[in-house]
Amino acid sequence: MAERRRWTYASAGVDAAQVERGLHRLLPWVRQTHDFGSCETLLPIGYFANVLRLTPDLSLAISTDSIGTKAVLARQLGRYDTAGIDCVAMNVNDVLCVGAEPIALVDYVAVDAPNDDALEAIGRGLFEGARRANVSIPGGELAVVPELVQAHGGDSMAFDLVGTAIGLVHPDRIITGADLAEGDIVIGLGSSGIHSNGLTLARRVLAGSDPGRLREHVPSLDRTIGDELLEPTRIYVPEVLALLRASTPVRALYNVTGDGFLNMLRSPPPVSFELIDLPQVPPIFGLIQERGGVSDEEMYRVFNMGIGFCVVVAEAAAAGAEDVLVAAGAEPRRIGHVRADGRREVRIPTIGLIGSEGAFRRA
């Protein structure tokens, strides 16, 4: 019997190393633009959002992202109503990470050919995402670009959906994890599922070249694979803003997106994160791992594995932070702590993983 294929993100079509090489060629040019314009850029490129100083007392946070190949999934299933929620979520959650309050988002929708019902459904999703995040959508763009966006068969509208969110923060209250210290507590907030990362790998494993497999009902999910993968990204604005407004001394905020918990290493200090009490992994990740023969190292590099956002506070402030989060409707969980060891690692001792430099390895 032939050995079952062991899938990775690269074999599914997303080569992280190649992406990194491309960024190294692109970013030097982009960084040089920081000398243009009248606003000072306050952070280096590479954090979740950047911040522009408008006045001595006011700064503008800005971030942009798409919903990735979740758009392909929506087309394959003919369901467009959740895409807009994902677009809002992916952007406002990043803006939160610098301690800013998201205030607005603009969208860009590219289609092969306009479809009235599909565009209305995308609009409903954008409205719902904006409602949950309490942001306005003051404008956007609809582009018909059949040469760029192609359906590859079927009657559903092919599309891409990108957003750019802005938020406001006082220059003295920008959060980047710069003051992380030994013993700080990592509080995890649960994800709603796969969110909008790793869908290329998930689709390859669970559907392959047959989109009909997305309609398979899986008992452990209590719904179809497609419905599970389309579950919109959770928006963390209400609970995180509640923390910030309560003057909780927050040390760092992390959106657990592509690269999973390795996103925590974006903060500048040479500290490590010991994640010792992660929750049980949601069934969708177990299904991907089992059917695709995906290693633990790859799963934790690509997916959120059940934690969609992390808040880091000093140990003395942890109980108070949890109280605020619970009052805001969240279910916080202490998942680990910070080690001031100079090693810049994410360690998950329960499964023997150590992560650094963009990858996890066995301890």
Partners of residue 333 on adjacent β-strands: 188
Over residues 42-54, the mean pLDDT reads 96
Structural fold of domain 177-363: Phosphoribosyl-aminoimidazole Synthetase; Chain A, domain 2 (3.90.650)
Of 7, 18, 67, 6, the C-alpha closest to 202 is 7
Q: What is the pLDDT of residue 275?
A: 98
Cβ atoms of 297 and 362 closer than 8 Å = yes
Q: Does domain 39-174 have CATH number 3.40.50.300?
A: no
- The mean of the pLDDT values for the chain is 95
Q: What is the pLDDT of residue 154?
A: 64
Cβ atoms of 205 and 289 closer than 8 Å = no
5 pLDDT above the threshold of 80: no
Question: Which residue reads 């992280």 in tokens?
Answer: 16
Euclidean distance between CA atoms 250 and 169, whole angstroms: 14
pTM of the model: 0.95
Euclidean distance between CA atoms 24 and 32, whole angstroms: 13
Q: What is the pLDDT of residue 16?
A: 83
Q: What is the pLDDT of residue 1?
A: 36
Is residue 2 very low, low, confident or very high in pLDDT (cuts 50, 70, 90)? very low
Size of the chain in residues: 363
Q: What is the pLDDT of residue 318?
A: 98
The per-residue pLDDT for range 165-224, each reduced to its tens digit, is 999 999 999 999 999 999 999 999 999 999 999 999 999 999 998 999 999 999 999 999
Over residues 218-247, the mean pLDDT reads 97
Q: What is the pLDDT of residue 156?
A: 87
The per-residue pLDDT for range 120-132, each reduced to its tens digit, is 999 999 999 999 9
SS (H, E, C) the chain: CCCCCCCCHHHHCCCHHHHHHHHHHHHHHHHHHHHCCCCEECCCCCCCCEEEEEECCEEEEEEEEECCCHHHHHHHHCCCCCHHHHHHHHHHHHHHCCCCEEEEEEEEEEECCCCHHHHHHHHHHHHHHHHHHCCEEEEEEEEECCCCCCCCCCCCCCEEEEEEEEEEECHHHCCCCCCCCCCCEEEEEECCCCCCCCHHHHHHHHCCCCHHHHHCEECCCCEEHHHHHHCCCCCCHHHHHHHHHCCCCEEEEEECCCCHHHHHHHCCCCCEEEECCCCCCCHHHHHHHHHHCCCHHHHHHHCCCCEEEEEEECHHHHHHHHHHHHHCCCCCEEEEEEECCCCCCEEECCCCEEEECCEEEEC
Question: Which residue reads 């060629």 in tokens?
Answer: 25
Residues of the chain with CATH 3.30.1330.10: 39-174
Euclidean distance between CA atoms 31 and 147, whole angstroms: 31
Share of the chain above pLDDT 70, in %: 98
Kindly tell me the burial class for residue 222, based on how many C-beta atoms sit within 10 Å of its own C-beta (0-12, 13-18, 19 or more).
exposed
Cβ atoms of 174 and 51 closer than 8 Å = yes
Contacts of 94 (CB under 8 A, 6+ apart): 48, 49, 63, 65, 165, 255, 257
The per-residue pLDDT for range 160-171, each reduced to its tens digit, is 999 999 999 999
Q: What would the two tokens of residue 33 be?
A: 């633009």
Q: What would the two tokens of residue 325 be?
A: 């989060």
Over residues 264-287, the mean pLDDT reads 97
Cβ atoms of 324 and 242 closer than 8 Å = yes
15 pLDDT above the threshold of 90: no
136 pLDDT above the threshold of 80: yes
153 pLDDT above the threshold of 70: no
Beta carbons within 10 angstroms of residue 5's beta carbon: 11
Residues of the chain with CATH 3.90.650.10: 177-363
The per-residue pLDDT for range 19-36, each reduced to its tens digit, is 889 999 999 999 999 999
